[in-house]
Amino acid sequence: MYSEHAYLMNSNNFYLIYRNLALIRRLDEQPLVWILLEIIATDTNAFQLCLPLIRCVLSALIVQWENFRGEDRAKTYLKQITLSTNLIILLKKARYLPSPLNEIYELFPFITAYDCFILLLDIWNYLKQNQQILTTKPQQQQQNIMRDSLYYDPIRFVIQKNIADVGHIAEHFLHLQLQTTVSIT
């Protein structure tokens, strides 16, 4: 049933999901934590110590967006959009996400909740597959993302699916792909 989602494979992860959701509730109660995390994000070494917290928040957001599987627009879930945007901006500030992954929060108000799930799952996969690179040299990873379309294809899919709503910012994402592709060759 959940074979495509690695984070739900183990029954022990059931309790991790509740822990992660409790963490998100605590972050809502303590907005000062986001400010502190933004300050810590300026130092890569210090931010590495916060990665377990970031992963908890990201996994809880993935589960929440997955549960909103309807065709409702994501803008109806303002709390989740705010948390997702804050998380992506934090990862961008720490230089853990390359373009265009670090810009996908711009799409959230215009796409469905399921599309937000797909984009956050894309970030999860990126962080998971590039964990070794991120802990050693996070600045170098930005150059190599477009060589593998694995991370760009979900973004392109979401843009194409919602082209009527995101057409005004789609050029920005397509420009990032073309610019990176040209610089690689």
Phi/psi for 137 (5° steps) reads: -140, 85
Question: Which among 13-17, 45-49, 89-93, 142-146 has the top mean pLDDT?
Answer: 89-93
Q: How many domains does the chain have?
A: 1
In this structure, is residue 1 part of a structural domain?
Answer: no
For residue 49, pLDDT beyond 70: yes
- Among the listed residues 126, 121, 159, the one whose alpha carbon sits nearest the alpha carbon of residue 145: 126
The CA distance from 51 to 41, in Å, is 10
Domain that holds residue 142: 6-184
In this structure, is residue 46 part of a structural domain?
Answer: yes
The CA distance from 181 to 179, in Å, is 6
In this structure, is residue 47 part of a structural domain?
Answer: yes
pTM of the entire predicted model: 0.79
In this structure, is residue 88 part of a structural domain?
Answer: yes
pLDDT value of position 183? 45
- For a pLDDT cut of 70, what percent of the chain falls above it? 77
Q: What is the mean pLDDT of residues 93-117?
A: 91
The CA distance from 174 to 155, in Å, is 10
pLDDT value of position 135? 59
In this structure, is residue 175 part of a structural domain?
Answer: yes
In this structure, is residue 130 part of a structural domain?
Answer: yes
In this structure, is residue 169 part of a structural domain?
Answer: yes
77 vs 176, which has greater pLDDT? 77
